[in-house]
Structure 1
Amino acid sequence: MARFPFSLNRSMEEEQDSGLTRDLNANVRSRSTGEPQLDKAVHRWLTWDKNRKTRAQVELLVEQGRVEELRRRFGGRMSFGTAGLRAPMGAGFSRINDLTVIQSTQGLYRYLCRCFPDLTSRGVVVGYDTRAQEESGCTSERLGRLTAAVMLCKDVPVHLFSTYIPTPFVPYAVRMFGAAAGVMVTASHNPKEDNGYKVYWYTGAQISSPHDKEVLRCIEESQEPWSESCWDEELVENSSLRRNPLLEVTACYMEELKALCFHRDVNIRSPLKFVHSSFHGVGHRFVHRAFQVFGFPPPIAVPEQKDPDPNFPSVHCPNPEEGESVLELSLRLAEREKAGIVLATDPDADRLAVAEHVDGCSWKVFTGNELAALLGWWMLFNWKETHPAAEIHKVHMLATCVSSNILRAMADLEGFSYQETLPGFKWIGKRMYELANSGGDVIFAFEESIGFLCGSLVPDKDGVSAAVVVAEMAAYLQQRNISLHQQLITIYQTYGYHISRTSYVLCHDPTTVHKIFSRIRHFEGEGSYPTILAGHRILHVRDVTTGYDSSQPDQRCVLPVSQSQMISFTLLNGVRATLRTSGTEPKIKFYTEYCAPPGSRDVSALEVELQKVTSSLVEDFLEPEKNKLIRRSM
């Protein structure tokens, strides 16, 4: 693993330059932006920051008089979204960098002290991926070690992984060691400029309200770095309170993974070949290890993408959810190798994309909702095979409220419990903990953005386990001359076709976003929510931002109120449509789904009708041209 681009301690070069830096800082401080609050924030930065690269960024911005850019960087602080803190790397309180990570960890420490009197015996877990940015000197490894340094300087034991890991290993380790919390430094599939700080509670689930708000309050109260120890690499290296859990966690995870393997004899004999891409991220060696556990030979790795590279050179976007356009290298390799299935994990290996060679001539790239239908069916099939006399009503499957309703349709016929949460796996993880405490058995959970959890190995989405479970399902079906796509059709005929569309538009102006959703709540000519969409009557409206749900007797939303914008419409023709803002990117996402009853259907007719509703949802409610929204490039 490459070392840091510069030490956490002040290097000799920095010491030699310190006099010049003090002179430059004094010169910078003598310049005013004309905004006292902004000047104060810049002054604090230059006083506190010990990263000479990010200090230099600020000094240059001040010298050049770039007030608007300084406002963007110093006008506010990051908030916890659906995936923790995420932002571009670089200088400023609104970005991910050494100082903001130290501040975040100090705030986290203060809150943990309030919640856990035994914090110094429980400890915390810290992991990181392979992101890096040369111009700011930020790497995920460095930021992970800074996180550890803050905790260690307060005598809190730290389980700090010695190298990059998949994100699900952190919540797994939190539960394994009984830690008070966990931190994963990652921006998952975000653009290469971004990084993030994801916090897990002692339950293994990502933090949610009210903990996220309380941590932010504690961050605001702990902005100045406590001491030189917060930046001390030697403290991290030499502390007796620091341990490396990599081998132990990996071994235990792989051992527990065996519980999801139901047909190892089939796997060993299967002639089916698999291609795997890790999208320049961390997944390669862990997916290979999981395949060995299940009795498969290693999948064929996409050579250009198997090794970590924070620049993601072979893809325009490091997100396998984008589909065939970013899976091109994987699909072409699979054709050359005569492999029937492509598996792609995103850079931090918590999401999974799957494609299947259909009829030897084309590729079917499954959506998250389609893959969830297959995995939900598979987990239920094996549960019934291994629990012939058990009470199925104690079995649970979970999905977010913007995901397909296919699991609900399965539950109606099969008798298991289906539950819905707000978007984001933190809500699924929280509900899993509650169900486990009441004796419930969660066998599958998902979110439509290719996030899956098979079983309850970790209370978070997990691309490593999902990849090998899909491989076993494909091998089992192939032995019976059934493809994944054919099985999907059978599922839809049994439980009802669920045809869905998911996409987004970009909007970088928060004021415009607010105006769009305010207009929907006071629709033109109606004075309230719209009553017609694409010529179809709207039966129910659910607005989780305001807590309104017209389908409930008291018109109060069952789901918790969300800080993000999200409104859903249920139409008379069986279509459900949702508009929501992303918690991690400047996107307005839209989701539509045609939920048909069981039986054969004219799928093309369903798709035509769904497309009409989707177009009307975007054009009439979002008004892209009027609001200067950027449509998704395909």
Structure 2
Amino acid sequence: MSTLDQETKSRIDQWLTAEYDSETVAKVQQLIDNNEETELLDSFYKELEFGTGGLRGIMGVGSNRMNKYTIGKATQGLANYLKKQFPDQQIKVAVSYDSRNNSQSFGHLVADVFSANDIHVFLFEQLRPTPMLSFAVRHFNCQGGVMLTASHNPKEYNGYKAYWNDGGQLVAPHDKNVITEVNAIQSVSEIKFERVDANITVVGEEFDDIYVQANKRLSIHPEAVEAQKDLKIVYSPIHGTGITVVPKILEAWGFTNVTVVEEQSKPDGNFPTVVYPNPEEEDAMSIAKKRGQELGADVIMATDPDADRVGVAIRNPKGDYELINGNQIGSLLTYYVLSSKKDKAELKDNDYIVKTIVTTNLISDIGAEYGVKSYETLTGFKFIGEVITKLLGKENYLVGGEESYGYLVGDLVRDKDAVNSCAFIAEMTAYFKCQGKSLFEVLQELYVKHGFYKEKLISLTKKGKAGADEIKQMMIDLRANAPKTLGGVEVKEIRDYENRVATNIVSGETSEIDLPKSDVLQFITVDGDVISARPSGTEPKIKFYCSVREALVDASNYETISAKLEQKVENIMADIVKG
């Protein structure tokens, strides 16, 4: 351990004491005996941060890993904060978990710690999706909740999402306050691990029907579903929780011809058929696409392990199944909801939609077409949930989404909901099929009306301490040496969300950004292109987003304009992505 700094060595020594169980101590000692200094550094160079979204990290021993002690500490800190916020009340929390390795045992561990703190726990009997946890928090009138999941991260990861009493993930001031409580715990002895059975209520399969029926009442065009009930749907849960509820909701909605991808139907934390269980990835959707091609599917859908994100493939004019991106799915859903509400004379003056700052402006354009207010938030669906909670009883939320494949129709939950989205995507497909249109044709119509938007995301993975330092330096360099042109197009405005200042490069004028601080930089070109740089809050990545737009006079020009915009995106990305 000669190259390790003193602070890291002190943490390692602490984990070798009798405070920790013998199995943990043995694993730490083995790393030392094998002289695995890189692993020791990454496992102990810091405390795994209970960030504003909770915990997420690689599973294993160490202060910077997901394990019994880091999860126990997070739960004890959250319990302490809940008790301070809700004095003289019987505090209740809901706990669920996904299909990842150790998620169930971590879920029971969380329930144990809460119960030991005299907090009543509604613990899901079996794995269930994240949106059902959000729904349960509200249904059982809980003050908080925890979901054990690392979403679409690789199999080595697990995570801990903390929720507040509105069913949304923690936002200000609770996020920072809980972090303070977690950091205040200095010893394992402060964590109460002893389960109190009387404080735990098991939530069984019967809860599925409550959630499914609540969603079914949101259906806009049940007559279209009835007319197209044999719509050919192919669905894959990618070895995750979606298998428990998505087929149920599609059946309850009225769809009778749903094919589940058998190879990916069994929950499995090793995700044996994919590299990443992420429906954004072509690889993760390839088996479902193949099955859809064989069956001539009308729509192909796949959800990530905790079923809060959904990917979609549809047939293009050439007859091939094409993965559409999160911006396109969100735009289609927004158009479907708003146009349908208008046709049924159900639009209200106080209706609104929401998107994040890195999500396509096509969604805002659609809102403007229908006279519906559009709100914009920081990246992360918890901020969309925060808007819904703040405006509850004053304005009427219809639909919201973010480019990273997360959407929500209606306000039953306060998080992105792939189960709800699968039902609405299927209904939307049925509705437009009744009109003789495919989703691809509808998308082209939107481009003709509002302009052809083309988006791309590039993620650079930088693991460990060295990677974290590199990402930090990349953002410092971008701020110090902001590009004057991108892809040969002049930059006219820079939005620095960390400093909450927008600067017009030409005039030098500045204005305040009316959003909380966030480590995001946006560059707006004279053409209206939007390029964003943002370190991920949940993965060891820095993300670069690009959105460009050009008029599409006629759908027949689709391929030509698409190729032109694709080249423009490539040129811009080549300029901004370094390393």
**TM-score, normalising length: structure 2:** 0.93
Cα distance in 2 for partners of 1:447, 1:206 equals: 16
Equivalent pair of 2:352/2:397 in contact (CA under 8 Å)? yes
Does the CA contact (< 8 Å) of 1:189 and 1:347 recur in 2?
yes
Larger radius of gyration: 1
The structure 2 residue matched to 1:569, chosen from 518, 523, 543, is 523
Match of 1:545 in 2: 498
Q: Which residue of 1 aligns with 2:123?
A: 160
Give how far 1:359 is off.
4.9
CA contact (8 A) 2:8 2:46 kept: no
Distance in 2 between residues matched to 1:616 and 1:331, nearest whole Å: 30
Could you say which residue in structure 2 is the equivalent of 1:399? Answer: 355
Once the 2 structures are TM-superposed, how far is the Cα of residue 197 of structure 1 from its aligned partner?
0.4
Alignment equivalent of 1:344, drawn from 279, 302, 324: 302
Q: Which of 223, 239, 249 is residue 265 of structure 1 equivalent to? A: 223
Specify every segment of 5 or more residues in structure 2 that has no aligned partner in the other structure, as ranges: none
Alignment-derived partner of residue 7 in structure 1: none
* In structure 2, distance between residues paired with 1:255 and 1:532: 52
1:469-496 CA distance string (max 9 Å, x none)? 1111111111222100001111222233
Q: Which moved more, 1:244-253 or 1:566-575?
A: 244-253
Q: Does 1:618 align with 2:577?
A: no
Alignment deviations for residues 305-349 of structure 1 (CA, whole Å, 9 cap, x no partner)? 0110111111121111113x3212112212223322111011111
CA distance in 2, matches of 1:261, 1:496: 29
Question: 5 Å matches for 1:77-226?
Answer: 77-81=47-51, 83-119=53-89, 121-132=90-101, 139-226=102-189
Distance 1:561 1:141 in 2: 35
Q: Measure how far apart 1:222 and its partner are.
A: 1.8
> 4+ runs of 1 displaced by more than 6 Å?
31-34
**Structure 1 residue aligned with 2:279:** 320
Q: 1:356 to 1:620 in 2, by over 3 A?
A: closer
The answer for the alignment partner of 2:538 in structure 1 is 584
**Structure 2 residue aligned with 1:302:** 261
Contact 2:227 2:434 in 1 (8 A): no
Match of 1:304, SS state, is helix
Instruction: Say which SS state the counterpart of residue 573 (structure 1) adopts.
Output: coil
User: Letter of the aligned partner of 2:119 in structure 1?
Assistant: V
Hey, what does 1:457 align to over in structure 2? Answer: 412
Q: Which residue of 1 aligns with 2:364?
A: 408
The equivalent residue for 1:23 is none
* Aligned length in residues: 571
1:33-52 to 2 correspondences below 5 Å: 36-47=6-17, 51-52=21-22
Find the residue that maps to 2:125 and give its secondary structure. coil
Instruction: Indicate if the aligned counterparts of 1:288 and 1:298 stay in contact, CA closer than 8 A.
Output: no
CA 1:471–1:35 in structure 2 vs 1: closer, same or farther (change >3 Å)? closer
Q: Distance in 2 between matches of 1:314 and 1:215?
A: 38
Work out the CA distance in 2 between the residues paired with 1:533 and 1:347. 37
Matched ranges for 1:318-397 at <5 A:
318-323=277-282, 325-359=283-317, 361-388=319-346, 390-392=347-349, 394-397=350-353
Question: How far apart, in 1, do the equivalents of 2:154 and 2:115 lie?
Answer: 31
> Could you tell me which amino acid in structure 2 is paired with residue 540 of structure 1?
E
Q: Which amino acid aligns with 2:67?
A: N
Q: Tell me if structure 1 keeps the 8 A contact 2:231–2:256.
A: no
Say if 1:558 and 1:65 are closer, same or farther in 2 by CA, change over 3 A: same
Q: Which residue is equivalent to 1:242?
A: 200
* Alignment gaps of 5+ in structure 1: 1-30, 133-138, 524-528, 625-634
**Do 1:550 and 1:556's aligned partners in 2 also have CA atoms closer than 8 Å?**
no
User: Is the Cα contact below 8 Å between 1:291 and 1:298 reproduced in 2?
Assistant: no
Q: In the TM superposition, what is the alpha-carbon distance from 1:218 to its structure 2 partner?
A: 1.2
User: Does 2:235 match 1:276?
Assistant: yes
Q: Percent identity?
A: 32
User: CA–CA distance in 2 between the matches of 1:328 and 1:285?
Assistant: 22
1:292 Cα offset (Å): 1.8
C-alpha spacing 1:548/1:228, structure 2 compared with 1 (3 Å): closer
1:631 match: none
In structure 2, the partner of 1:555 is 511
- Does structure 1 residue 475 correspond to structure 2 residue 445? no
CA contact (8 A) 1:341 1:355 kept: yes
Provide the C-alpha distance between the structure 2 equivalents of 1:598 and 1:331, rounded to a whole number of angstroms. Answer: 28
Tell whether the 8 Å contact from 1:48 to 1:224 is kept in structure 2 after alignment.
no
In the other structure, the counterpart of 2:384 is 428
Shift of 1:603: 4.2
RMSD: 2.3
Letter in 2 for 1:391: K
Whether the 8 Å CA contact 1:82–1:423 is kept in 2: the answer is no
Distance 1:190 1:595 in 2: 31
Q: 1:122 to 1:435 in 2, by over 3 A?
A: same
| Structure 1 residues 228 and 376: CA distance shift in structure 2, 3 A | closer
1:431 and 1:32 map into 2 onto residues whose CA distance is 51
Q: Does residue 72 of structure 1 match 2:79?
A: no
Alpha-carbon distance in structure 1 between the residues aligned to 2:316 and 2:510: 49
Cα gap change, 1:184 to 1:489, in 2 (>3 Å): same
User: Are the equivalent residues in 2 in contact too, given 1:51–1:98 (CA < 8 A)?
Assistant: no
Using a 3 Å threshold, how does the CA distance of structure 1 residues 610 and 621 change in structure 2: closer, same or farther? same
Distance 1:263 1:49, change over 3 A: farther
- For 1:254 and 1:605, how far apart are their aligned partners in 2? 43
Give yes or no for contact 1:368–1:449 (8 Å, CA) kept in 2: yes
Q: How big is each residue's C-alpha offset from its partner over 1:248-277, in whole Å with a ceiling of 9 and x where there is no partner?
A: 532221121122212323323423211110
Q: 1:338 and 1:206 mapped to 2: Cα distance?
A: 39
- With over 3 angstroms needed to count, the CA separation of the structure-2 counterparts of 1:118 and 1:205, relative to structure 1, is farther
Q: Deviations over 1:167-210 (max 9, x none)?
A: 11111111112211100000111000000000011111111233
